[in-house]
Homo-oligomer: A and B are copies of this chain.
Amino acid sequence: MKRPTILVLGAGYGGLTTVVNLQKSLGADDANIVLINKNEYHYESTWLHEAAAGTMSPESVRYDIKDVINSNKVKFVQAEVQAIDVTGKVVTTNVGTHTYDYLVISLGFEGETFGIPGLDKYALSMANVKAARQIREHIEYQFATWSTEEVKDDSRLTIVVGGAGFTGIEFLGELGNRVPELCKEFDVPQEKVRVLCVEAAPMVLPGFDPELVDYAVRHLNSKGIEFSIGTPVVEATPEGVNIKKGEDVFEFVKAGTVVWAAGVRGNRLIEETGIENMRARVKVDKDLRAPGYSDVFIVGDCALMINEAVNRPFPPTAQIAMQQGDMCANNIIALMKGEPTSDFTPDLKGSVCSLGDSDAIGVVFGKKVTGTKASFMKKMIDNRALFMIGGLGLTLKKGKFNLLK
């Protein structure tokens, strides 16, 4: 019997966990494992808000893929996936094509701007490490320019964050720490800086406990961050955003920086596969396979699973992506052995939303936590992801150990 080829697309939390588990369980002769990724590095997409705010270097947010894969068992190909043909079983990249016996689609999320005019062009996003880095540089450039220009345009120092969900709030938390540093670094009086969060929904952090949400908003307010809730962004322009404050009531907010953190979707390539999807997310079978395709697994942000307890999709998190990666590797091995696959059930250990370096809110193992304790838990969660994929070595190299700051 010929060795099967397992092709994994994307080295995010889901794809990399799949590969790491496959290389643990399979011998070098059991399968051809091929991992394709656009960059030679994995990045911590849950840390991007730190790189974007400038509280962490972009370099700290990523690590080389070759540091965590066993090159005797896994072939890494740096390439950009251009098309996925699930009927012909061929994946096309910018440097060649690949066939497969088992395919794992773990291509991650893209930003979603919901067709709001101008956002694609004039708002920055935290979609990847390069985009996050651009946000940091953009903000620094605005501050540097303000401090040198003769006629000061104070709107350069206004940062509008679209979205008060998890990403938006974590980014605001970092900005709360970063703005005083920026003011010092660039000789800007802090009262000139405005950070405004605009959210279309009538609430901050939907799905979070109201008491914790209240804590978060008070914390961010105390750092000077303003909220405008229930006010959709209707347009972005080179000068700022137009927001809808009520029936026929609009306000233009002039802002040097607009960051859009309000929506994610699956990878657009999914939409061209013919597999049924909603915004490029596929409602996968219980064993994580694409409906109707016995050799195609989908894990991570491109997989949609309904949480039947609340009849809503599970959020696209690193925690679930990594658990799916474990299960995906198990199920591929089961198929190789002719054994039945297992069903995936997320094991939700909790969720912690950072509010900056020394504060956070969350629910961990069913308990509400805030403040230093929550911040500590958050860093432990971040370190745990490193440990699960790269072991102790990677954790020591890239982990967060300013735990009691």
Flag if B133 contacts A186 (CB, 8 Å). Answer: yes
Flag if A137 contacts B134 (CB, 8 Å). Answer: no
Q: Pick from A2-10, A88-96, A144-152, A338-346 the stretch touching chain B.
A: A144-152
A59 contact from B58, B148, B185, Cβ within 8 A: B185
Flag if A134 contacts B145 (CB, 8 Å). Answer: yes
Q: Is A153 an interface residue (CB 8 A)?
A: no
A72 to chain B, nearest CB (A): 28
Contact residues, A101-159 vs B (CB, 8 A): 128, 130-131, 133-134, 136-138, 140-141, 143-145, 147-148
Q: Is A214 an interface residue (CB 8 A)?
A: no
Residues of B within 8 A of A64 (CB): none
Flag if B137 contacts A144 (CB, 8 Å). Answer: yes
Contact residues, A36-65 vs B (CB, 8 A): 39, 58-59
Can you name 19 A-B residue pairings with CB atoms under 8 Å? A39-B187, A58-B185, A128-B148, A130-B144, A131-B148, A133-B148, A133-B186, A134-B145, A134-B147, A134-B148, A137-B137, A137-B140, A137-B141, A137-B143, A137-B145, A138-B141, A138-B144, A140-B140, A141-B141
What residue of chain B has the Cβ atom nearest to residue A125's Cβ? Answer: B148
Flag if A144 contacts B133 (CB, 8 Å). Answer: yes
Flag if A144 contacts B148 (CB, 8 Å). Answer: no
What residue of chain B has the Cβ atom nearest to residue A136's Cβ? Answer: B144
Contact with B along A205-226 (1 / 0, CB 8 A): 0000000000000000000000
A354 to chain B, nearest CB (A): 23
Interface size range of chain A in the complex: 20 to 34
Residues of B within 8 A of A147 (CB): 130, 133-134
Interface residues, chain A, with chain B CB atoms under 8 Å away: 39, 58-59, 128, 130-131, 133-134, 136-138, 140-141, 143-145, 147-148, 185-187
A144 contact from B134, B145, B185, Cβ within 8 A: B134
Choose among A128, A140, A143, A148 the residue with the greatest number of B CB atoms under 10 Å from its CB: A148
A94 to chain B, nearest CB (A): 13
Residues of B within 8 A of A138 (CB): 141, 144
A53 to chain B, nearest CB (A): 14
User: What CA separation (Å) do A210 and B130 show in the bound complex?
Assistant: 45
User: What CA separation (Å) do A145 and B130 show in the bound complex?
Assistant: 8
Residues of B within 8 A of A136 (CB): 144
A55 to chain B, nearest CB (A): 16
A10 to chain B, nearest CB (A): 18
Residues of B within 8 A of A133 (CB): 144, 147-148, 186
What residue of chain B has the Cβ atom nearest to residue A39's Cβ? Answer: B187
Residues of B within 8 A of A140 (CB): 137, 140-141
User: What CA separation (Å) do A148 and B130 show in the bound complex?
Assistant: 5
What residue of chain B has the Cβ atom nearest to residue A140's Cβ? Answer: B137
Flag if A130 contacts B187 (CB, 8 Å). Answer: yes
User: What CA separation (Å) do A141 and B58 show in the bound complex?
Assistant: 14
Residues of B within 8 A of A185 (CB): 58-59
What residue of chain B has the Cβ atom nearest to residue A148's Cβ? Answer: B130
What residue of chain B has the Cβ atom nearest to residue A58's Cβ? Answer: B185
What residue of chain B has the Cβ atom nearest to residue A124's Cβ? Answer: B148
User: What CA separation (Å) do A321 and B145 show in the bound complex?
Assistant: 29
Nearest first, the 7 A-B pairs at minimum CB distance are A137-B144, A130-B148, A137-B141, A141-B141, A134-B144, A134-B148, A130-B147
User: What CA separation (Å) do A186 and B130 show in the bound complex?
Assistant: 8
